[in-house]
A and B are shown apart, each in its own frame.
Chain A
Amino acid sequence: MAGRWRRWNAAIHRDIGYLAAGLTIVYAVSGIAVNHVADWNPNYRLGERTYEVGPLDKGREESALAADLAARLQLKVPPRAAFQPDEDTLQLFTKEGTYSADLPTGKVVFQGLRPRPVLLAWNRLHLNAPKGLWTYLADLYALGLLALALTGILILKGPKGILGRGAWLAGIGAAIPAAFWAWWAWLR
């Protein structure tokens, strides 16, 4: 009887493991990617160019300034919109990115973001950007991980099982986040 449930447990662990493998890779890779968001942009590559178009008369209306700047930059497609965050700066928004002009000097910096195709998709799924159906699929995956953890600790019996060496390792694994939280929340 004991052997039968352990065989079922191993089979469930194995099959859920196969099912969860793909999404685990997605979550693991994007987890590392978004963890280091302070050091790099995991979703987009930033492209930057500079132009010199000559000083622009900042006394004019924003629309006139925008038309002048677009002409000097020889933009083939009209910008989506323009904005002056302050009196010395004019921004032109295009599909490809933003041109920011320093009006007194005429120096223009273009910044465009190009998506990192695979990572952007994985990160968006990780952060549940699609919402709706994806919320339930991600819940299902989380339940799968829970099942993997519970069935995993019961796979082996004997001295390497959860009543032996496994208890120590599982205890260390659980203690690491608990100890870190205690230090971070109350002791630091």
Chain B
Amino acid sequence: MLPRALLLVLAATLALRAGEWKNYGKNLTVKEETKISEILAHPDKYQGKKVKVRGVVTNVCPERGCYLNLKGDKKFQQLQFKVDDGVIVFPADAVGREAVAEGVVAVTTFSVAEQKEMCPIEAKALDPKFDPKKIKGPMKVVRLDGLGAELKN
């Protein structure tokens, strides 16, 4: 009798959580959302600025949960939200869920040596064609230095 009651409570709790938003990292403070396409079109204008973006999660660091990629509002576009290891740990099952994320826009150019030292999984998430054996030159990356995010259950 008791196990059944517990299962019912658990099922009800899970049902109530469906559709809820779960917070990771710092609380979101920026009021207006910025389109990912706008940031990618004018990265220098947004560099160093704190922004809030929205998109479907297309990729999560499967090892440390230290980044997630967000689908842009225009075709073929995505923006990476990156934190240092352990600051936020995103679950692998975040892929495909809607996210609202806040961070500071960073425009970084990785030298050949830096690319060779990069985590290959992270590099591949930044550039799906990345191959550590075929690095030709510097890689310019626009991404968010992540502060906080909310994921829809």
Which A residues fall within an 8 A CB radius of B? 34, 37-38, 41-44, 46, 62, 79-81, 83-87, 91, 93-95, 97-98, 113, 115, 124, 127-129
- Of B8-16, B89-97, B103-111, the segment with at least 4 beta carbons within 8 Å of chain A is B89-97
Which B residues fall within an 8 A CB radius of A? 56-58, 62-65, 71, 75-76, 78, 85-86, 89, 92-93, 95-98, 119, 128
Residue numbers in A under 8 Å from B86 (CB-CB)? 127-129
CA distance A172 to B29 in the complex (A): 49
Prevailing SS type, chain B contact patch = loop
Given A41-B63, A113-B62, A81–B71 Cβ distance below 8 Å? yes
Q: Which of A34, A87, A97, A124 contacts B76 (CB 8 A)?
A: A87
Residue numbers in B under 8 Å from A44 (CB-CB)? 62, 92
Closest to A93 in B: B96
Q: Which of A46, A85, A113 contacts B78 (CB 8 A)?
A: A85
CA distance A29 to B94 in the complex (A): 26
The answer to whether A80 touches B63 (Cβ under 8 A) is: no
Q: Which of B63, B65, B97 has the most CB of A within 10 A?
A: B63
CA distance A95 to B86 in the complex (A): 24
Residue numbers in B under 8 Å from A129 (CB-CB)? 65, 86, 89
Closest to A80 in B: B96
Q: Which of A83, A87, A94, A97 contacts B56 (CB 8 A)?
A: A83
Residue numbers in A under 8 Å from B63 (CB-CB)? 37, 41-43
Closest to A91 in B: B58
